Amino acid sequence: MGMNNMFDLYNIRSNFPIFNQPDLPPLVFLDNASTTQKPTQVLEAVNQFYCRYNANVHRGIYKIAEQATEAYESVRDKVAEFIGTADRRNIVFTKSTTESINLVAYSWARKFLKTGDEILVTEMEHHSNLVPWQLAAQHTGATLKYIPLNKSGSLDMSSPERYFTKNTKLVAISHQSNVLGTINSVKEIIGYARDVGAKTLIDGAQFVPHSKLDVQNLDCDFYVFSGHKMMGPTGVGILYGKADMLETMDPFLGGGDMILSVTMEKAIWNDIPYKFEAGTPNIAQVIGLGAAIDFMKNMNIDSIDSQVRMLTSTAVSRLREIKGLTVLGHENGIDSTSVISFFHKDIHPHDIAHLLDTFGISVRAGHHCAQPVMDKYDLSASVRVSFYVYNTIDEIEQLISGLQKTMEYFR
Ligand SMILES: Cc1ncc(COP(=O)(O)O)c(C=O)c1O
């Protein structure tokens, strides 16, 4: 069956070696918000690079160095097209979402913010989109303000004038929560930010793996995400930045590749995006990300989206049937998908996760690097399940029966 008809689920799963290990018990992997599994196509692209044309990029005169450079740079074009920009200078390769955010916090925020300025975040952020701003605020004298989270799982946008003021210089928000699965109305928020002259950074780590992104339509200044959460290798993050923003920023790291010329006294920066790619990049991993994007495009991103939504809504209903268990967020009318957090009134999340693991089911338990969200619900931890396109209804049933057995065990 061809890739266009990928929703023959066994066909999808057959592309993932980790789901096809005859000597190991079957893996029910429900921690996809943390990282995703890799298809053969991605592993093969990485392998081919190392076996057939391994060389450094942007330097060599010889054939395989040119081949490596071309393969690496073609992924920049692929990413640009994938997220809706025609300008390849907008795409900076970093090592992760976290590094992309830190890059902006160091190279933009520390350069341009001052005492009295405000950075607006939300109570829903991953620590990666919080701590870099706390550090930048300490360094510059700026202050952090928070758009509150409602217990229903959405942002409280009832009085935006309280948060978006003439002092707001940066709005940094997640496109989708990694705890609640809520998709925020980022277009509306970007509009409020623009009205007060603030810049915007959107953390799309959870959104991009299963949804169509159009950065030009959003009109944000920065957009960040990670390749490993969309079937690519670890070690590659993307920073999309508007060219005029990237131009005004100072380099983040200094070293090879990010300069045009160096004397004993000073260096002249390379053009964007290279100004922000110091040293040998993660060449193999970027090439692997290119294969992951091809894989997603072949499946069709809208089909990935609807498959993940179907799995999520099925799981929410099934989980809500279990007595003693509470699902966070996912209320009617709130756009949410892929991630579900829940807790049991008597059983600790870590105990649930450990027991599920004994049945071969991988789920996350903890604060999910988003302690302010947990605080909102007066919890120290929750259980989190998160789906990707290769998960199945049968796996949801295994989760439900695993939870029932867990409750029996602790009764
Ligand atoms: C919303 C969100 N932002 C940022 C990150 C950090 O991503 P990375 O660890 O790839 O830098 C994550 C990872 O879970 C996330 O879910």
Q: Best mutation site among 206, 364, 384 for ligand 1, i.e. most ligand atoms within 8 A of its Cβ? A: 206
- Residue 122 Cα to ligand 1 middle (Å): 15
What does the pLDDT read at residue 286?
Answer: 98
In whole angstroms, give the CA distance from residue 200 to residue 37. 31
What does the pLDDT read at residue 173?
Answer: 98
Q: Whose CA is nearest to atom 7 of ligand 1?
A: 97
What does the pLDDT read at residue 3?
Answer: 44
Q: Which residues line ligand 1 (CB under 6 A)?
A: 33-34, 96-98, 126, 128-129, 174, 178, 203, 205-206, 226
| Helices assigned H by DSSP within 144-238 | 186-195, 215-218
Q: Count each helix (H run) and each strand (E run) in the chain, helices first.
A: 14, 15
Q: Which residues of 54-83 are buried (b: 16+ CB within 10 A; e: fewer)?
A: ebbbbeeeeeebebbbebbeebbebbbebb
Burial of 359 (0-12, 13-18, 19+ CB in 10 A): middle
Q: Which 3-state string (H, E, C) describes 28-46? A: EECECCCCCCCCHHHHHHH
Atom of ligand 1 nearest to the CA of 226: 10
Structural domains of the chain in order of their starting residue, each with its CATH number: 3-37+300-410 (3.90.1150.10), 45-297 (3.40.640.10)
- Below-70 pLDDT ranges, the chain: 1-10
CB within 8 Å of 191: residues ≥ 6 apart: none
Q: Checking phi first, is residue 255 left (phi over 0); if not, alpha (psi -120 to 50) or beta?
A: left
SS3 of 342, please? strand
What does the pLDDT read at residue 9?
Answer: 57
Atom of ligand 1 nearest to the CA of 229: 10
What does the pLDDT read at residue 259?
Answer: 85
Condensed to tens digits (0 to 9), the pLDDT of residues 80-120 reads: 999 999 999 999 999 999 999 999 999 999 999 999 999 99
In whole angstroms, give the CA distance from residue 167 to residue 194. 12
What does the pLDDT read at residue 4?
Answer: 45
